[in-house]
């Protein structure tokens, strides 16, 4: 994205020059889907697509925000003295929630600001545009007001924003992946203990292709919360005999030996996905360290199959993309990412086969679904940061 256009956009809207410029990435999860709220492991990374913000201080207590992605909403303004959730504030509730929790934590914002936002993440595609905005706002405030908030605390505030301000019962993976991202590395995060370490993602001659179904998926309105409560119900039944706090603590063998305690077909399948997916994630790290990309790709495929049959969160659009990807030359693996029910999938594709891959998969998808899919090459990037305006203006 041309960052000069963002500075120009700020000037056009607010009739002044921006003082600061920031970027916050989106994220993909290589493997470990729907495990974060089940106390399991996840393996996400930040990506080079994301959200940009131009910032300027104000001398009153007003906050004014404008999104280039939603220009019809106009400038949304509110006061530092009234940070309650308001439906009419629409997308601005995401950054507003971060302002609310940062001030609740005792950090002082003594004046307002103007903010101009432009993202190149497809909206509602499951690449964590909401976490990108949350951590963007946290980074902006941390820098502009010299708050010295620890990055991990900003990540936790981002999840709090999502859960308690927006009302989506999500785990911490999205905010963690965005906030703690490192170039060319993914993060193995144990959501039970919050222990994490970085692992290099060396894919040789392969790249990660994001495949967007272009079916909009509103997370708050999806069956996400239903899946979460089903896993909680399965866990409660297992806890009648087992001393565990989460499904992520179970090995495959322990689950097999104790699944009779659940005694419900749907709940068994939901829990089985959480347990098996957690183990797949741990195996995936091992194969990447051994540079065994073939076996890593097989695990990626197995993740999608489990999300389709056991967790039932894929749907015809995602299945069509992934199954078409599996048929192409030079594909190591493919699966849906994110909450499901639309959004995106990823494929690990030989660089030399990308053009054929996009043409062939795109054609199959258009014929079956009736509209086009979009494709993006994703680079694994750093977390949120300030961009030097002087370098942009050169």
What gap in Å lies between CA 298 and CA 315, rounded to an integer?
21
Residue 218: its pLDDT value, please? 57
The answer on 374 and 241 residing in a single domain is: yes
173-292-29 Cα angle (round to 5): 15
Is the Cβ–Cβ distance between 83 and 36 less than 8 Å?
no
Q: What is the pLDDT of residue 269?
A: 98
CA distances from 6 to 22, 23, 39, 66, 115 (A): 10, 11, 39, 11, 11
Same domain membership, residue 107 and residue 126: yes
The Cα–Cα gap between 227 and 151 comes to 30
- The CATH number covering residue 233 comes to 3.30.70.890
My answer on whether 170 and 229 are in the same domain is no
343 and 322: one domain?
yes
294 half-sphere exposure, CB direction, 13 A CA radius: 0
Sign, CA dihedral 103-108-110-115, equals: negative
Alpha-carbon distances of 87 from 48, 84, 96, 383, rounded to whole Å: 31, 10, 12, 29
Query: Are 78 and 189 members of one domain?
Result: yes
Q: Do 214 and 164 share a structural domain? A: no
170 and 103, same structural domain? yes
d(CA 68, CA 66): 7
Q: Are residues 87 and 165 in the same domain?
A: yes
Pair (247, 330) in one structural domain: yes
Residues 265 and 187 in one domain: no
Q: For residue 302, give its domain range.
A: 201-378
Give the separation between CA 80 and CA 96, rounded to whole angstroms: 9
* Co-location of 275 and 263 in the same domain: yes
Q: 49: helix, coil or strand?
A: strand
Q: Which of 36, 161, 174, 350 is catalytic?
A: 174
**CATH number reported for the structural domain that contains residue 173 in this entry:** 3.30.230.10
With a threshold of 0.75, does the pTM exceed it?
yes
Structure confidence at residue 220 (pLDDT): 42
Q: For the sheet with 331-336, list strands across it.
A: 331-336, 344-350, 206-212, 374-378
pLDDT tens digit string along 369-379? 999 999 999 88
Q: Give the per-residue pLDDT at 217.
A: 61
Do 318 and 182 fall into the same domain? no
**174 has catalytic annotation:** yes
Instruction: List the chain pLDDT tens, one digit each, 394 residues.
Output: 789 999 999 999 999 999 999 999 999 999 999 998 999 999 999 999 999 999 999 999 999 999 999 999 999 999 999 999 999 999 999 999 999 999 999 999 999 999 999 999 877 677 788 999 999 999 999 999 999 999 999 999 999 999 999 998 787 889 999 999 999 999 999 988 889 999 989 999 999 999 999 987 655 456 888 999 999 999 999 999 999 999 999 999 999 999 999 999 999 999 999 999 999 999 999 999 899 999 999 999 999 999 999 999 999 999 999 999 999 999 999 999 988 888 899 999 999 999 999 999 999 999 999 999 999 998 899 999 999 998 888 7
Number of separate domains in the chain: 2
């Amino acid at each position: 994205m041309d960052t000069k256009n963002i500075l120009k956009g700020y000037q056009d809207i607010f009739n002044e020059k921006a003082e600061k410029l920031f970027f916050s990435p989106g994220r993909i999860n290589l493997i470990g889907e729907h495990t974060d709220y089940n106390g399991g492991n996840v393996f996400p990374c930040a990506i080079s697509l994301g959200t940009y913000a131009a910032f300027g201080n104000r001398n009153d207590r007003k906050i004014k925000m404008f999104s280039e992605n939603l220009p019809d909403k106009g400038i949304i303004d509110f006061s530092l003295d009234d940070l309650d959730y308001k439906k009419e504030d629409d997308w601005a509730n995401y950054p507003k929630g971060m302002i609310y929790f940062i001030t609740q934590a005792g950090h002082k914002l003594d004046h307002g600001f103007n903010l101009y936002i432009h993202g190149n993440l497809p909206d509602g595609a499951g690449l964590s545009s909401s976490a990108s905005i949350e951590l963007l706002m946290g980074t902006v405030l941390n820098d502009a007001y010299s708050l010295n908030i620890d990055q991990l605390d900003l990540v936790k505030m981002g999840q709090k924003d999502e859960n308690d301000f927006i009302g989506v019962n999500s785990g911490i993976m999205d905010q963690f992946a965005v906030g703690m991202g490192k170039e060319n590395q993914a993060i193995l995060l144990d959501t039970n203990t919050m222990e994490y370490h970085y692992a290099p993602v060396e894919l040789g001659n392969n790249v990660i292709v994001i495949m967007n179904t272009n079916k909009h998926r509103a997370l708050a309105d999806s069956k996400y919360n239903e899946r979460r409560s089903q896993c909680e119900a399965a866990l409660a039944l297992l806890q009648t005999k087992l001393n565990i706090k989460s499904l992520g603590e179970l090995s495959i063998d322990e689950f097999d030996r104790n699944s009779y305690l659940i005694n419900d077909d749907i709940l068994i399948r939901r829990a089985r996905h959480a347990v098996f997916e957690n183990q797949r994630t741990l195996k995936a790290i091992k194969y990447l360290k051994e540079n065994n990309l073939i076996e890593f790709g097989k695990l990626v495929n197995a993740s999608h199959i489990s999300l389709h049959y056991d967790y039932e969160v894929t749907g015809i659009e995602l299945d069509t993309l992934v199954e078409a990807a599996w048929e192409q030359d030079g594909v190591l693996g493919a699966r849906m990412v994110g909450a499901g029910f639309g959004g995106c999938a990823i494929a690990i594709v030989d660089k030399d086969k990308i053009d054929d891959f996009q043409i062939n998969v795109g054609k199959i998808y258009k014929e079956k679904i009736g509209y086009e899919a979009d494709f993006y090459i994703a680079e694994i990037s750093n977390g949120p940061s300030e961009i030097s305006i002087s370098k942009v203006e050169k």
